[in-house]
Amino acid sequence: MRQDPLLSNIGEVLQKFRRMETCMRKAGLPGFLARLPVWVLCLHYCFMMHGKTMRIDRIGERIEHWLETITGLSHNAHARTELIDMDRSMRNDIESTKRTLLTLRELCVDVATMFGSIGFASRLLERTQRAFLDAVDDACITATTLQRALEGHDNRAIELLRQLDAREQPDQPVTARPGNGAQSPASAGGRPELQL
CB 70 within 8 A of CB 170: no
CB 138 within 8 A of CB 60: yes
- CB atoms inside a 10 Å sphere around CB 176: 15
Q: Distance (Å, rounded) from C-alpha 66 to C-alpha 83?
A: 11
- pLDDT tens digits, one per residue of 133-164: 999 999 999 999 998 888 887 777 777 777 77
Query: Does residue 193 surpass a pLDDT of 60?
Result: no
User: Where do the structural domains in the chain lie, given as residue ranges?
Assistant: 40-188
- pLDDT tens digits, one per residue of 92-126: 888 999 999 999 999 899 998 888 888 888 999 99
Say what the pLDDT of residue 61 is: 94
Q: Distance (Å, rounded) from C-alpha 150 to C-alpha 141?
A: 14
Q: Distance (Å, rounded) from C-alpha 128 to C-alpha 109?
A: 11
Q: Distance (Å, rounded) from C-alpha 146 to C-alpha 153?
A: 10
CB 102 within 8 A of CB 137: no
Q: Distance (Å, rounded) from C-alpha 133 to C-alpha 194?
A: 16
pTM of the model: 0.72
Q: DSSP assignment, residue 170?
A: T
The torsion defined by the Cα of 103, 108, 113 and 115, in degrees rounded to 10, comes to 140
Say what the pLDDT of residue 181 is: 45
CA angle 37-40-43, nearest 5°?
150
Q: Which residues contact 112 (CB under 8 A, 6 or more apart)?
A: 125, 129
Say what the pLDDT of residue 6 is: 62
